[in-house]
Structure 1
Amino acid sequence: MRIGSRVFPYPILNNFEYASDFKNSSKYELKNTFVDNFDVYRTKNSIVFKDIHFYLEDKELIKLYEEGKIKACLIVEASASVYREMFELTDKPTDITVPIHLLKGDVYVSSYIYANENIEGYYSQGFEDDYKDYKIDIEKYSIMAADDGFKFKVSVNEKDDNKVSSIFMIIRKDEKSDIMDYENSSERIKIYLPYKHFRNYESLKMQSMYNNEFFSMLLIPVLISCLFEIQVETKLNESYTDISDIIDNKKWFSSICLAYERETKTKLSLDDFKDYSPLKLAQLVLNNASLKGMEDFSMLMLKGDRGDNNE
Structure 2
Amino acid sequence: MTFPSAPPPTSPTGEQITDYYSALGPLLRMAWGDNLHFGYWEGPTDRSSPEEATDRFTDLLAARLRVRPGERVLDAGCGVGRPALRVASATGAQVLGVTISQEQVTRARELAREAGQEESVRFEYGDVMRLPHPAGSFDAVLAFESIVHMDRLTALREMTRVLRPGGRIVLTDTFALGDGPGNPPSTPGTQATADAGEVASIGRLEAYPELVKGAGLELVELTDVTEHTKYTFMRVIDGILRCRREFEREHGVSVEEILDSLKPAHPDVATQGGAEAVGCLVAVARKPLGA
Provide the TM-score with structure 1 as the length reference: 0.21
Larger relative strand fraction: 1
Larger RCO of the pair (alpha carbons < 8 Å, separation 6+): 2
Give 1 or 2: higher helix fraction: 2
